[in-house]
Amino acid sequence: MNANAQENSGQLNGLKWLLVAAVVGAAVWGNSYFAAEPLLYRVIGLLVMTAIGIAISLQTSQGAAFANLAKGTRTEIRKVVWPTRQETTQTTMIVVVFVVVCGLILWGMDTLFGWLASLLIG
């Protein structure tokens, strides 16, 4: 019985994805068909069709899994300890100073090797 339920669910998911594709196709066709209408109305129509497509796709097993993933991601982001403004500024300054020092060292080495090469070559 479980295999039959999964098979029916898979078929329904396929039909739902076809319906989503039809909604997207209708949105694209409607946008081109109503090209003479004001842009605001076409954008509103596209937003409505997008909302309908998202609502249908969330009813599939893949859409439900994505929604659960997004909820889990939001929960994990809330657990992150973000640095303070002072820590961010200090770290940024350390990186800037390090980059400048490395740049000066590389510039000095390039100048030195260029000078040595010009002495050897003549």
Predicted confidence at residue 11, as pLDDT, reads 75
- Is 70 in the same domain as 15? yes
Predicted confidence at residue 122, as pLDDT, reads 77
Count of CA atoms in the C-beta half-sphere (13 A) of 40:
0
- What are the mean pLDDT values of the chain's consecutive 10-residue runs (122 residues total)? 57 89 94 93 94 94 93 92 95 98 98 94 84
Which residues constitute the domain of residue 45? 1-80
Predicted confidence at residue 2, as pLDDT, reads 56
Give the torsion through C-alpha atoms of 115, 120, 121, 122, to 10 deg: 80
Of 64, 80, 96, the residue that ends a domain is 80
Gap between the Cα atoms of 57 and 25, Å rounded: 15
**Residues 6+ positions from 9 with CB-CB distance below 8 Å:** 61
Predicted confidence at residue 105, as pLDDT, reads 98
- Is 69 in the same domain as 103? no
Predicted confidence at residue 8, as pLDDT, reads 59
Number of folded domains in the chain? Answer: 2
Predicted confidence at residue 12, as pLDDT, reads 85
Predicted confidence at residue 6, as pLDDT, reads 56
